[in-house]
Structure 1
Amino acid sequence: MNAVIIAVLVMLILSLVRVNVVFSLVIGAMVGGLVGGLSFASTITIFTEGLGGNATVALSYAALGAYAVAISKTGLPDAMVEMAIRLVGKNGEGRKRSLSKVLILLIILIISIFSQNVVPIHIAFIPVLIPPLLKVFNELQIDRRVVATVITFGLTAPYILLPVGFGAIYHQIIQENLGLNGLEVSLNAIPNAMLIPVGGMVLGLLVAVFISYRKPRVYGTTEVQNEEKQAYTRKGIIFAIASIIVSLAVQLYLSQQLGVNGMIIGALVGIIVIYASGVLRYGEADELLTSGMKMMAFIGFVMISASGFANVLKETGHISSLVAVSADMIGNQKSLAALLMLIVGLLITMGIGSSFSTIPIIATIFVPLCIQLGFSPMATIAIVGTAGALGDAGSPASDSTLGPTSGLNTDGRHNHIWDTCVPTFLHYNIPLILFGWIAAIML
């Protein structure tokens, strides 16, 4: 049996029955290694060696968590709640409440989209923006599952479709790997080929917002981090907003101009700006950092464990065999070929958690197979691009799901699997398979 399929299924089943995701990843990796022919000792060694792959990201989350707690101490969350109450009205009923929900979700969607291209900071904005808004969500009784689907759409759809920011990287990876396997395509052709698959994601977003999660959901009135309500002043609010702007600017400069991960330094600079306001005292540094680390510890450990999980799957060699076996099953049936290739991409990305890393793996088999079966270049782009992106939304180990959870679970009321992964899987992966298959047939 294929180790990739077994490992991913074990990890997903354990996660769905509410076994801790970190333990699910560890157990899935052990099972996958043994099924893949590795010894128990070798599996442990390979898993351990892979843990360092996401260490920088884990530390970044801890730093951003500390920054999020610092923002909360300025009183900005309470100011936002009061603004929301004034916007909604005293009783928060009727048309004003509905318009307020739509406005908030629209703002979050725009910021999420911009984080992939206009200001390409990826998920770094979430621990800064979302925790202060939780009080607003509670006041408006917004179902956080819809917020998770909105953020995940903004984190994934732009890079799949638009050739700017992270999309430029993804499209370049597609073009290079198609070329390496015998199909030369222009970068300009990729957005056109990915338009139909992304149309499926748009449909999923609309269903999530206006049908699946439109009803109010009560989360209670527990304060974020169980802290007392923070008194705020105009000075504190101004410095809080200034710190956010400076933090994002530093992250953008470091990533774009110097080509380094700027999340840690950006968070540190943001905290320093808040210190300068006098809202926080120097002696509070240890308590602040500890609170932030607690808030983000789960996300960091998932990222670290996912890196070890992916390392084990790669070492088994069963990723390539999964692709090859699928190719043997297809024969000359184009419709079946397109569907199987998309499903294989889903399985690989769900396990690895990175669509960018999936493309080089699947292109070596998919591209020659598409050429052999007579798929057009545009259809081949759609198949490879969609197969690579499948699983990014919905994977417990993906930035696109871990990011939303990191912000929405600040007060412990948002489950990573059932409130982020399952909703995003249902509303994005299923439409991506369907619309990706349609694109492969039509183009």
Structure 2
Amino acid sequence: MFNAVVVSVLVIVVLSLLRINVIFALIAAAVTAGLIAGLPLTETVSTMIEGMSGQMETALSYVLLGMFAVMIARSNITAILVKNLIRVLGGKRSILLVTIAFVASLSQNAIPVHIAFIPILIPPLLGLFNRMKIDRRAVASALTFGLQAPYIMIPAGFGLIYHGIVAREMAKNGMPVDVSLFPKAMLIPGIGMVLGLFVALFITYRKGRKYINKEDMFASSSKEEENVSFTSRHMLTLVAIASALGVQLWTESLVIGTLTGILLMFAFRVVRWKDGDDVVQRGVAMMGFIAFVMLLASGYASVLQETGAVKELVSASGDMLKSNQLLAAAMMLLVGLLITMGIGSSFGTVPIIAAIYVPLCSELGFSVLATAALVGTAGALGDAGSPASDSTLGPTSGLNADGQHHHIWDTCVPTFLHYNIPLFVFGLIAAMIL
């Protein structure tokens, strides 16, 4: 119980639930982990600071995305989007939420931009959500589903990467598996996530929720929405967006892709150079928080690695569970949840747990498919609901553009309840029947 991972994750959870900003919670967790492991305070802090460099590119990408989103909003093309959505959807709340989940899913596989679409698509829709009295917790649930479920179930884009990591780590630890079989192994846990999505959208958050309509950089008045028409300025904006996406996919760099879009917006004079200061300030205000949390999460993960607490936790759980399949499977999933909740990365969790759990599964008589389901689900558990995961930070960055969406209580808690619990239960079922 006094393992540095367990205690520090509890620190993050408790402080976050008490509405203490996640930045302070992450710093407190890193210091707690270091002190429990016997590291001097100065060494813990220096390790955390050095580890922050691991997410520097991601942080810069998010800040640039914020600036690009502000530029797109200034073109007023978002008013056309809102106008057409109002005409097509009207009061069709369910269709709108399912569409958002579908678009988010495409960002993982068909067009692998991950959370890059959120600051561009979601803030302009906040006014529409307010009119339809949509509970933003439902929107957060739809977005997080789209950011996580596809890479669990679908072998394309980020899903292909995740499946490849699990297959490679299983083979490295003595249990080769054909990567083409992985979707079959993860089908049952994936069904759990689909069930969680429908419970969130159509049961838990079906009732309306009132928000204050605020005029901001994304808001257009009803009159503007009615009178807006497509112009050459909007066409140039679309060219800049398409170019940013194309360059990102070509170079595999979100930074280069976003910079391309920003420079084209200036070059096309959709946004004037003299407005650059305002664009930067608003962009940083929108995405600076998520960028800094990602940096701190990387620093916290480095402290955990320095202490060796993650490997100790995995090894200790493995030593305890050498006779009971059901108990062993439950403990593996629980440890995976704790690790991913802390470091916020499913992809980074798999290599850590596979080294112990694959040999243990072999010893306990789990099949190859059951082992793949256990390792894949244990890695994915905690991505939803983690205060430091981009699967929760991304939705918050868009939904909180007007300051009315709380990261912990409106994104992390709903997604934890609706996705981690079904993943745990259905992952356990998969391990026992495959």
Give TM-score scaled by structure 1 length: 0.93
* Distance (whole Å) between structure 2 residues aligned to residue 186 and residue 80 of structure 1: 43
Sort the Cα spacing of 1:114 and 1:82 in 2 relative to 1 into closer, same or farther, 3 A.
closer
* Amino-acid identity (%): 53
Q: Show the counterpart of 2:382.
A: 391
Q: Show the counterpart of 1:11.
A: 12
For 1:1-400, list aligned pairs within 5 A. 1-87=2-88, 96-97=90-91, 99=92, 101-225=93-217, 232-235=228-231, 236-255=233-252, 261=253, 263-400=254-391
How far residue 289 of structure 1 moved from its aligned partner, in angstroms, is 1.2
Q: The residue matched to 1:291 in structure 2 has which SS?
A: helix
Instruction: Look up the equivalent residue of 1:238 and give its one-letter code.
Output: M
Question: Contact 2:127/2:219 (CA < 8 Å) preserved in 1?
Answer: no
* Distance (whole Å) between structure 2 residues aligned to residue 228 and residue 204 of structure 1: 34
Sort the Cα spacing of 1:163 and 1:420 in 2 relative to 1 into closer, same or farther, 3 A.
same
Q: The residue matched to 1:223 in structure 2 has which SS?
A: coil
Question: Contact 2:236/2:270 (CA < 8 Å) preserved in 1?
Answer: no
Instruction: Look up the equivalent residue of 1:79 and give its one-letter code.
Output: I
Question: Contact 2:240/2:261 (CA < 8 Å) preserved in 1?
Answer: yes
Q: The residue matched to 2:179 in structure 1 has which SS?
A: coil
Instruction: Look up the equivalent residue of 2:380 and give its one-letter code.
Output: A
Instruction: Look up the equivalent residue of 1:234 and give its one-letter code.
Output: F
How far residue 228 of structure 1 moved from its aligned partner, in angstroms, is 7.4
How far residue 247 of structure 1 moved from its aligned partner, in angstroms, is 2.1
User: What's the CA shift string for 1:147-179, capped at 9, x where partnerless?
Assistant: 111111111111111111111111111111111
Question: Contact 1:55/1:304 (CA < 8 Å) preserved in 2?
Answer: yes
How far residue 226 of structure 1 moved from its aligned partner, in angstroms, is 8.1
Q: Show the counterpart of 1:92.
A: none
Sort the Cα spacing of 1:33 and 1:42 in 2 relative to 1 into closer, same or farther, 3 A.
same
More displaced stretch, 69-78 vs 18-27: 69-78
5+ residue gaps, structure 1, are 89-95, 256-260
Q: Show the counterpart of 1:258.
A: none
Q: Show the counterpart of 1:424.
A: 415
Q: For the aligned residues, what is the CA RMSD?
A: 1.7
* Distance (whole Å) between structure 1 residues aligned to residue 390 and residue 370 of structure 2: 28
Q: Show the counterpart of 1:93.
A: none
* Distance (whole Å) between structure 2 residues aligned to residue 109 and residue 60 of structure 1: 23
Question: Contact 1:15/1:21 (CA < 8 Å) preserved in 2?
Answer: yes
Give TM-score scaled by structure 2 length: 0.94
Aligned residues: 428
Q: The residue matched to 1:283 in structure 2 has which SS?
A: helix
Question: Contact 2:123/2:218 (CA < 8 Å) preserved in 1?
Answer: no
How far residue 30 of structure 1 moved from its aligned partner, in angstroms, is 0.1
Question: Contact 1:46/1:311 (CA < 8 Å) preserved in 2?
Answer: yes
Q: The residue matched to 2:108 in structure 1 has which SS?
A: coil
More displaced stretch, 56-65 vs 230-239: 230-239
More displaced stretch, 73-82 vs 31-40: 73-82
Q: The residue matched to 2:122 in structure 1 has which SS?
A: helix
Q: The residue matched to 1:224 in structure 2 has which SS?
A: coil
* Distance (whole Å) between structure 1 residues aligned to residue 416 and residue 216 of structure 2: 27
